[in-house]
Structure 1
Amino acid sequence: MERKNVAFFSERNVCRSIIAEAYLRRLGRPYFNAHSFGIRPDRVHYLVREVLESRGFNLNYFFSKYYEVIENQKFDIIVLMHPSLEEKLPEIPYPYEKLVWEFEDPTARQLDRETMRREIEALCDAVESRVKAFVDQYRTQPVE
């Protein structure tokens, strides 16, 4: 079976989409190729790295990127990490399935370190659960 190419899209590609990419790589490896990108990428937030590494992820190959970095790949599914991103998604010149999830970005707010870490932990739990459901739903559907 051919793997489906999935891209997670967020504003800065420093938190939500990186977390989703990490979990899809872990939970959906036999069925999916996972990627992420943003319209204003920056470095992956240090607390996101810290939390994901504490959960056993090797983040050596995770970095924030523009769509242009991965635009030569064709995606079967693009997941917007928040509904507010609908109008910000770059023009993509081929058919794909678009999913819209609703996760807030805790790194976009001014929070103290401990509060931020707790919110990132909670976000990881929520994204992991959503990715598990995604894998269960989409792993059996053929690539068109």
Structure 2
Amino acid sequence: MSKIKVLFLCTGNSARSQMAEALLRHLAGNTFEVFSAGLDPKGINPLTTRVMEEIGIPLEGHYAKHVNEYMGKIHFGYLITVCSDAEQRCPSTFPGISHRLHWAFDDPGAFVGTAEENIKKFREIRDQIDLRIRLWLEERKSEGAI
């Protein structure tokens, strides 16, 4: 049986979508083939890499990708936007999508504080994404979808 393809989409593909991609792959990579992209890719924020490594999930091989790398080229079972900007700007008729979901998370890269406050914000968003993915996986299991 082929894996269900999931695309996490945000604006810069620098933090939230990268975290979500790595977390879902770590938690359920045997069930899902996971991708991430941005509408205006910026490069991965170093704090994203740091907070993921803290929990044993390195981002080796990850890089910021534009959504056009995938749009209309791959059929995705799920497109999950992880920021409100991407949800508003992404075409409502994204070709090749079976299900579209929106999970809004604050942009940790936009947070302004001390170095310790900034890393704390990245950890907070990472943990929120982790919890949301775990809940979604439980929902999918209880529905018999996976």
Compute the TM-score of the two structures, normalised by the length of structure 1.
Answer: 0.90
Is the contact between residue 78 and residue 99 of structure 2 (CA under 8 Å) also seen in structure 1? yes
Distance in 2, Cα, partners of 1:38 & 1:95: 16
> What's the % identity of the aligned pairs?
25
- Shift in Å at residue 94 of structure 1? 3.1
Structure 2 unmatched runs, 5+: none
Given candidates 126, 142, 145, the residue that maps to 1:141 is: 145
Query: 2:14 is paired with a residue of what secondary structure?
Result: coil
- Shift in Å at residue 128 of structure 1? 0.6
Aligned length in residues:
142
Is the contact between residue 4 and residue 32 of structure 2 (CA under 8 Å) also seen in structure 1? yes
Query: 1:77 is paired with a residue of what secondary structure?
Result: strand
Does 1:79 pair with 2:80? yes
Distance in 2, Cα, partners of 1:95 & 1:52: 28
Deviations 1:27-60, CA, capped at 9 Å, x for gaps? 0112111111001101100011011112111211
- Shift in Å at residue 133 of structure 1? 1.2
Does 1:32 pair with 2:36? no
Distance in 2, Cα, partners of 1:121 & 1:95: 30
Q: Residue 106 of structure 2 aligns with which residue?
A: 104
Deviations 1:76-108, CA, capped at 9 Å, x for gaps? 100011234223114522342110111010102
1:94-133 aligned at under 5 Å gives the runs: 94-133=96-135
Distance in 2, Cα, partners of 1:31 & 1:12: 26
Greater relative contact order, per chain length (Cα 8 Å cut-off, separation 6+): 1
Distance in 1, Cα, partners of 2:97 & 2:56: 35
- Shift in Å at residue 70 of structure 1? 2.6
The one-letter code of the counterpart of 1:89 is C
Q: Residue 45 of structure 1 aligns with which residue?
A: 45
- Shift in Å at residue 3 of structure 1? 1.4
Distance in 2, Cα, partners of 1:83 & 1:63: 22
Distance in 2, Cα, partners of 1:33 & 1:111: 35
Compute the TM-score of the two structures, normalised by the length of structure 2.
Answer: 0.89
Is the contact between residue 78 and residue 97 of structure 2 (CA under 8 Å) also seen in structure 1? no
1:16-27 aligned at under 5 Å gives the runs: 16-27=16-27
Q: Residue 65 of structure 1 aligns with which residue?
A: 65
Relative to structure 2, which stretch is displaced further, 89-98 or 114-123? 89-98
Query: 1:76 is paired with a residue of what secondary structure?
Result: strand
